[in-house]
Amino acid sequence: MQVHYDIKNIPQIKNAIVSQGTFDGVHLAHKKIIERLKQIASIKNGETVLITFEPHPRIVLFPNDNGLQLLSTLNEKIHLLEKTGIDHLIVLPFTKEFSRQTSEQFIRDFLVNKLKTNTLVIGYDHRFGKNREGSFEHLKESSDLYGFEVEEIPEQDIDDVAVSSTKIRQALLNNDIKTAKKYLGNNYSIEGKVIKGKQLGRTIGYPTANIEIENSLKLIPQDGVYAVWVWYNKEKFGGMLNIGNNPTVSNKVRSIEVNIFNFDKEIYDEELKIEFEIKLRNEEKFNGLDELKNQLYKDKIHAFKLLEM
């Protein structure tokens, strides 16, 4: 997959089969659109193109709204989209000026003149352009005028519940890791850099890697202990992860710490990817380190079983 940040120098794309959106989380409904893109591209001997925006449009349009939580950062989104077999990803800078562009301007100047779009595929009820004026009906009118085809994917349902990024966020914040996984089509994950912590874990036999998440808008699941998968240098390890304030040792700072099973390396300043499998329990305050150590032993046995290790 080629990733294009400089829109002035996008190479000529053969029979561009295009879709656009935020693609936050790259969930099952997004994957339906991507599969349809690939089907059309195969028939028309074309190349698939996804257009996404950075930062998320809500950050620019509603700068005082602190409620946005991202399922995927830009880097995570790129990693997820690479797995889908898309040919091109175009990352458009979303600015105030860009948001004032009418749908007609975007269609004419970018989709038609720049990309020479052959076919545009959009999700159910997708809208774009100034004041979200662009609709499927508007696109149909423009497609007749400019000579490209447009197709709308029907609303995607799983067990009669529409898949959306909002529902996935709600599931994660309600400790429903299983439903989030079902809608995403894969485990929810976070990526971050290993930083130095208090190193208390290693003194009781459970050394942990402290994870720093660079993007403050990234959604972090509720506090608690989770069975997880850990990716390091393309290798996969089981582990158990704690999110919270470590009340047993009176730590007031919320942290993300993972104990990686069968692992013994110094990895400070290196990147880890954590996949959430299931929540083991809520975070608790124990009567001293011995009680905490006993519970961590139980947690590890439980995680081993759940991860089928």
Number of folded domains that form the chain: 2
DSSP, collapsed to helix, strand or coil, labels residue 70 as strand
Q: Which pLDDT band holds residue 174 (cuts at 50, 70, 90)? A: very high
Residue 127: pLDDT over 80: no
- CATH number of the CATH domain containing 102: 3.40.50.620
Residue 158: pLDDT over 60: no
Same domain, 211 and 146: no
Same domain, 96 and 232: no
What integer pLDDT is reported at residue 25 of this predicted model? Answer: 96
- How much is the average pLDDT of 147-176? 83
- Is residue 144 situated within a structural domain? yes
Residue 139: pLDDT over 60: yes
* Rg, C-alpha atoms of the chain: 22
Amino acid at 139: L
- Is residue 105 situated within a structural domain? yes
Same domain, 144 and 211: no
Whole-number Å distance between alpha carbons of 169 and 249: 30
Same domain, 92 and 50: yes
Altogether, the residues listed in the chain come to a count of: 309
Whole-number Å distance between alpha carbons of 295 and 259: 14
Same domain, 7 and 151: yes
Q: For the ranges 21-35, 126-140, 147-161, which has the lowest average pLDDT? A: 126-140
E strand or H helix that includes residue 167: helix 165-173
- Is residue 231 situated within a structural domain? yes
Output the six-digit token pair for 148: 């490209």
What sign does the dihedral 61-122-134-114 (CA atoms) show?
positive
- CATH number of the CATH domain containing 232: 2.40.30.30
- Is residue 125 situated within a structural domain? yes
What contacts 107, CB < 8 A, 6 or more positions away? Answer: 134, 139, 142, 146
Domain span holding position 103:
2-162
Q: Which pLDDT band holds residue 41 (cuts at 50, 70, 90)? A: very high
The last residue of one of the domains, among 147, 162, 177, is: 162
Evaluate whether 163 touches 156 at the Cβ level (below 8 Å).
Answer: yes
What integer pLDDT is reported at residue 136 of this predicted model? Answer: 65
E strand or H helix that includes residue 239: strand 235-244
- Is residue 169 situated within a structural domain? no
Residue 261: pLDDT over 70: yes
Q: Which pLDDT band holds residue 131 (cuts at 50, 70, 90)? A: low
- Is residue 176 situated within a structural domain? no
Whole-number Å distance between alpha carbons of 172 and 181: 9
Whole-number Å distance between alpha carbons of 284 and 114: 56
Amino acid at 300: K
- Is residue 29 situated within a structural domain? yes
Q: Which pLDDT band holds residue 147 (cuts at 50, 70, 90)? A: confident
Same domain, 50 and 134: yes
Whole-number Å distance between alpha carbons of 138 and 142: 6
- Is residue 288 situated within a structural domain? yes
